[in-house]
Amino acid sequence: MALINGLYTEGEKIADTKAPKVPVPEMWTTRKFDAMLVNPANRRKLSVIIVGTGLAGAAAGATLGEAGYRVKSFCFQDSPRRAHSIAAQGGINAAKNYKEDGDSIYRLFYDTVKGGDYRARESNVYRLAEVSANIIDQCVAQGVPFAREYGGLLDNRSFGGVQVSRTFYARGQTGQQLLIGAYQALERQIAAGTVEMYTRHEMLELIVKDGKARGIIARDLVTGEIETHVADVVVLASGGYGNVFFLSTNAMGSNVTANWRAHRKGAYFGNPCYTQIHPTCIPVSGDHQSKLTLMSESLRNDGRIWVPKNREDCDKDPRQIPEEDRDYYLERIYPSFGNLVPRDIASRQAKNVCDEGRGVGPMVGDFRRGVYLDFADAIARLGEDAVRAKYGNLFDMYARITGENPYEVPMRIYPAVHYTMGGLWVDYDLQSSIEGLYVTGEANFSDHGANRLGASALMQGLADGYFVLPNTIRDYLAKGPFEALADDDPAVAEARAAVEARTEKLLSINGERTVDSFHKELGNIMWEYCGMERTEEGLNKAIGLIRGLREEFWRNVKVLGSADTLNQSLEKAGRVADFLELGELMCIDALHRRESCGGHFRAESQTEDGEALRHDDEFLYVAAWEFTGGDGTNGEFGNMGAPVLHKEDLVYDAIELKQRSYK
């Protein structure tokens, strides 16, 4: 087939997402009713593998364990409690309308679709809003200590991109408290014997037999042993891939390997280029930087963002710059949302003012990369104690990292990669294009379109894990148990051999460059050309650079140590190898989508005042990419052919399509 732009081909459209054919508000009830049931006595005979113990994975593991299935749960950290979800700060949305401010399921649905710049699937988002209230009930029952008012009732705050207060929070540690709740529920099932936990284990391959996902190959990271685990169904809850940029707010270990291995086995990758760049992170301080730290978006409720009007003021003490010389640019450009515009907009405007030479803080390259987030007004209005009570831990963290006191000097912030809306493509049931492979949480692409609203990833992870997956997966499990797979089955043997060969190869190259040096270089390419602003020229260039880097990696990487002990360089090498393939696909996706939407900003497609301009006539679809193997010119490893694009048309029945406006 002829290559489009020399890069990909187009395959058949995705005709059906399996959502029930009823109006959106009735879909979920219909689906739950139609899904087959599994007799409790049969559940013990059915096995489920769950990769990941973040909110999505731990919630699913606990719930399926309680239901009586045999669950095997995997994570690469030393305890399920350490999954990256733990780091979420700000809060979790739910349409409870506690504040009587006009919130409803429909409004949460509407805000999420609009926030996602009309690139999310209506059916899934409606369901998310619908189950959101149950999440809070579930978490409170588990003992999650949400913030409370003096009367003992739960408190709410507001978050970017919306005008109601629907965010539940536990100081700046919401993710921690929610995850501990899910973790404890999971540990309870481990004690009950329904869940078997494999910590310090990494999934390195998916086993597919007769078109069905039937298990995984995992490496015991302590002993190095390669293990085969077979089940009736496999769930990936392995999180996002923001670390393809090297620097991001993600945890050091966050990676794409589980997703990518499944993608190589046939699971479509949905909208890989949709990346969220969060506006409020602590700026880079030097070459040694290993990761970036988010300052919760909730700070934008009380902090005011500004830069000097004049470049000459950029290196002055901000406190000496008079009011009239400050540009509160978000308040100026977006009077109705002000500092609370969605993340993609706040980030791009920060980049714009810095590109104009009005950034603050140390020079990074030719520009200062920082803007002020100022609490002086809030401290004057509410008092320092009130501000401390609300944001104390965030202020402390800022002080610790930068060595500056944010109660006295305005914070400096700059956007950083934070979240990936893209992920494995799933249907309404959260099943991927491989039968029996389900994908939940940040690992799937489903709910946030081209931009995620604050406090909605936690909501999605728990919705998927506690309520959605357990209902949809039983419909599949009802057809099981499937025929047992022997260790010497060709499907198992092939997957094992692939893992062993890759491990051996990585250890035998013995080149000149460390894994981190490749990772950093890849990150620079991605940030430069596939970051906040993307152009055709830049993306084409990036694809060439990534291919070259991947080729060099498989020739020149240096991984010391052996395969039969804890070997952190080997772990990283495998992850970076997969990032080197993913990066190329992200650029191809970004290149093919010649429109701007949400976090995907193509410089060629903007309105007169520089806002993202969508092209609904051409791009009102989900891009689901199918992997094809290469012709081997790149060697045996890291070999990629031209991917095949499958479009899933987006249909809006309940919501009218509009150009987003936050003015």
Partner 1 sequence: MTTTTHEAEVAAAPREEGLMNLTLKIWRQNGPRDNGRLVTFKVKDISPDMSFLEMLDVLNEQLQAEGTEPIAFDSDCREGICGMCGLMISGEAHGPEKTTTCQLHMRSFKDGETITIEPWKADPFPVIKDLVVDRGSFDRIIQAGGFISANTGAAPKAEAILVPKENADRAFVAAECIGCGACVAACPNASGMLFMGAKITHLGELPQGQPERDARVVSMVNQHDAEGFGGCTNIGECSHACPKGIPQDVISTLNKDLRTALKRGR
Whether residue 343 lies in the annotated active site: yes
138 contact partners, CB below 8 Å, separation of at least 6: 462, 466
From partner 1, ligand FAD, none, interface partner of 419 (C-beta below 5 to 8 A by class):
ligand FAD
481: preceding bond cis by omega (within 30 degrees): yes
Q: In which element (H, E) is residue 579 found?
A: helix 568-592
Residues 239-258 close enough to bind partner 1 by CB under 8 A: 251-253
Residue 182 or 373: which CB sits closer to partner 1? 182
Catalytic residue from among 343, 452, 593, 660? 343
Angstrom distance (rounded) from CA 166 to CA 31: 27
Angstrom distance (rounded) from CA 660 to CA 657: 9
Residue 7 C-beta: closest distance to ligand FAD, Å: 28
Residue 140 C-beta: closest distance to partner 1, Å: 4
- Our finding on whether 63 is near partner 1 (CB under 8 A) is yes
**Contact, 136 vs 93, CB < 8 A?**
no
Residue 176 or 276: which CB sits closer to partner 1? 176
From partner 1, ligand FAD, none, interface partner of 134 (C-beta below 5 to 8 A by class):
partner 1
CA dihedral 570, 572, 577, 583 (to 10 degrees): 180
- Chosen residue from 9, 30, 77, 606 binding partner 1 by CB under 8 A: 77
From ligand FAD, partner 1, none, interface partner of 145 (C-beta below 5 to 8 A by class):
partner 1
Residue 40 C-beta: closest distance to ligand FAD, Å: 27
Residue 376 or 498: which CB sits closer to ligand FAD? 498
Q: How many CA atoms lie within 13 A of 536 on its CB side?
A: 8
From partner 1, ligand FAD, none, interface partner of 456 (C-beta below 5 to 8 A by class):
ligand FAD
* E strands in 221-270: 226-230, 233-236, 269-270
For partner 1, which stretch binds (CB under 8 A), given 169-177, 363-371, 444-452, 472-480?
169-177
Residues 306-345 close enough to bind partner 1 by CB under 8 A: none
CA dihedral 75, 569, 259, 66 (to 10 degrees): 0
**How many residues form the binding site for partner 1 (CB under 8 A)?**
79
Residue 519 or 614: which CB sits closer to partner 1? 519
From partner 1, ligand FAD, none, interface partner of 188 (C-beta below 5 to 8 A by class):
partner 1
Residue 420 C-beta: closest distance to partner 1, Å: 17
Angstrom distance (rounded) from CA 323 to CA 385: 24
Q: What are the beta bridge partners of residue 218? A: 203, 227
Residue 291 or 547: which CB sits closer to partner 1? 291
From the list 349, 459, 425, the residue with the least C-alpha distance to 627 is 425
Residue 294 or 590: which CB sits closer to ligand FAD? 294
Residues 403-422 close enough to bind partner 1 by CB under 8 A: 403
- Chosen residue from 30, 524, 569, 628 binding partner 1 by CB under 8 A: 569
Q: What are the beta bridge partners of residue 203? A: 218
473 contact partners, CB below 8 Å, separation of at least 6: 48, 64, 233, 235, 429, 438
Interface contacts to ligand FAD, rule CB under 6 A: 51-57, 74-77, 83-85, 87-92, 174-175, 201-203, 237-240, 249-250, 254-255, 257-258, 294, 418-419, 441-443, 455-459, 461
Rounded alpha-carbon distances, angstroms, from residue 243 to 257, 418, 441, 468, 580:
11, 9, 17, 27, 11
- Chosen residue from 558, 613, 639, 644 binding partner 1 by CB under 8 A: 558
Per-position DSSP letters for 85-133, written without gaps between them: GGG--S-EE----TT-SS--HHHHHHHHHHHTTT-S-HHHHHHHHHHHH
Residue 457 C-beta: closest distance to ligand FAD, Å: 3
Residue 143 or 610: which CB sits closer to partner 1? 143
Catalytic residues: 343
